[in-house]
Structure formats: structure tokens, C-alpha cells
Amino acid sequence: MSIPTPNMKRLMPGVQTIIAVASGKGGVGKTTCSVNLALALSQSGASVGIYDADLYGPNVALMLGVRRKQSKASDDPIDMIPTVRASSKPYIPPLERYGLKVMSIALLMGSNDAITPDPRAAGDIIRQTLQDVKWGALDYLVIDLPPGTGEPQQTLLRTIQIHGVVIVTTPQEMSLMDASRSIGLYEGAGVPLLGVLENMSYLNCPHCGEPIEIFPKSDAEWTVQKDALEILGRVPLDPHVGRKVDENHALLTENGASVFREIAAKVIEKVGQ
């Protein structure tokens, strides 16, 4: 099936700009980057929402210090989520946290619950839930996508107007090559590529403050830069991030806050708001 043209895709009522955050592989810190980007956009004065589109490993709520010990229902809550509704009127109130409007499947599940929907329905579950949230008026909605190029990416690209995508990678060769494959998916779908965010790029020495490159720079970096994609920012590895999550604080840390604010400013410029 061919990807529809932009004017055939659904716009989200009240949402001005949808920004997807994607990666070619897991383990690159994409969710941490998504949450920090959303927080930085919010700190710029914008109204911002964040949607966790990872059905099997949702972590946005956890990153914002929200944990649920038990499911809302004794049965599998995923069975209560429709893949299609007769009414198009949103009805799910988002959680509000640190100035963000938040929605994640994790808000329905217990922290130890296994999420086991039919893989063929995964894209429709994510798409329908996205449309069913009462987002209200938002300047930006950040969608934290799961890694790879499968579902729900394929369904969202067919049905929802996404205004730009940020690709997250780390400096290693494998991550860069996988990022290149992910870039191909969004190029083919006609989604504007806003740039690349290199996470865990270096570590600031705790003694002298000088940057230390933990991962050697790869000869494969051209696979990300082949289309002259801008490197939006290089984010340091910050040992305080896990501590922030444990203490229920927002994630913008001393080492990374300025970097994410610069990244947010570039994203705002690129999407034209």
C-alpha cells in the first residue's frame, strides 16, 4: 500500500505540530531524549504534549516519575482499548506532569504486567489511542516511537500528519547504520527530517570538566550525514539521569539542559513556529 499524500492524512484537532522522535535500534536513550525535548519545548513557553507510542515497552511515564503497581482492571487492560470507534470525539483525559500533557499505555498497566496484544493490531491500537486523547490546544505533540521501522510507525505514517521527525542515535557504527535505515523510512513517507540527535556522545569528566569520548567515532558516520542532515545536538552521558527518575524529578539535568534547549530551539525553527 502506498503512503497517502499529506492532505489525505488526519490532522489532530487543536494540535499545531506533531514531532516524532525515532531511532533505528533500541538502547540509544530515545525515550530520555523524547521527554527532555518535550520539557525543553515546554520551557520555551509552548504548550506541549507527549505520547508514548511504544506498546510493548512504554517508559515515558516512568521517565516522568509515574509508576502504577496494579492495572486499572483485573482483566488485561489492553483488551479495553479499541482499534476503531464509531465516534471520532476524543474522550481520554491525559495525565498532566511537569507542564506536559502525557499519554502512555503504561498509565493503564501495572509496572510488572506483560503487554501482549496481537501484533497485527498494535498499529491500530496506538493510532486510535492517539486520536482518543483529549489533548486540547497544543503547540507541539511529541510522539516517542519504538525503535525500528515496523509498527506502529507504518500505521501512523499512513494515517496521521506528522510534521517532522528527529532521529536519535549513539556514536557507534551499528547505531549509525540502523539510524540510516530509519531515515529511509521517513524520507519515503515524505516526513520532513528535522535532524539527528547524537545521544551519549561524550562524558564530562567529574574532576576537570573536560569532555571524554567514551565511544570511538565511527567511520560509518556518513550513513547518517549522507543527506546533509543537521546534527541538532550532541548530548552527554549523564549519570544523574537515573537519579532524577528515582527522585521523581523532571529529567532536564545540569549537564544536558542547555543542550536540549538548543535542540528545542532548532526544532522550533525548522517546523516554522
- What are 2-40's pLDDT values in tens digits? 444 445 678 888 999 999 999 988 889 899 999 999 999
Q: What's the confidence (pLDDT) of residue 34? A: 95
Give residue 158's domain range: 6-271
* CA 95 – CA 20 distance, rounded (Å): 20
* Residue 1 belongs to some domain of the structure: no
Q: What's the confidence (pLDDT) of residue 258? A: 85
The three cell numbers of residue 163 are 510534521
What's the chain's length in residues?
A: 273
Q: What's the confidence (pLDDT) of residue 184? A: 86
> Dihedral angle at the C-alpha atoms of 31, 137, 140, 53, nearest 10 degrees?
30
Instruction: Mark the ranges of the chain whose per-residue pLDDT is less than 70.
Output: 1-8, 68-84, 86, 110-112, 114, 206, 209, 216-228, 239-256, 273
Nearest one of 233, 198, 197, 228 to 215, comparing CA atoms: 198
Three-state SS at 86: coil
The type of residue at 20 is: A
> pLDDT by residue (tens digit) across 39-63?
999 999 999 999 999 988 898 988 8
Q: What's the confidence (pLDDT) of residue 39? A: 92
CATH number for the domain spanning 153: value is: 3.40.50.300
* Residue 214 belongs to some domain of the structure: yes
- Cis before 90 (ω within 30): no
* Residue 193 belongs to some domain of the structure: yes
Number of domains composing the chain: 1
Q: What's the confidence (pLDDT) of residue 200? A: 85
Within 8 A by CB and 6+ apart from 2, the residues are none
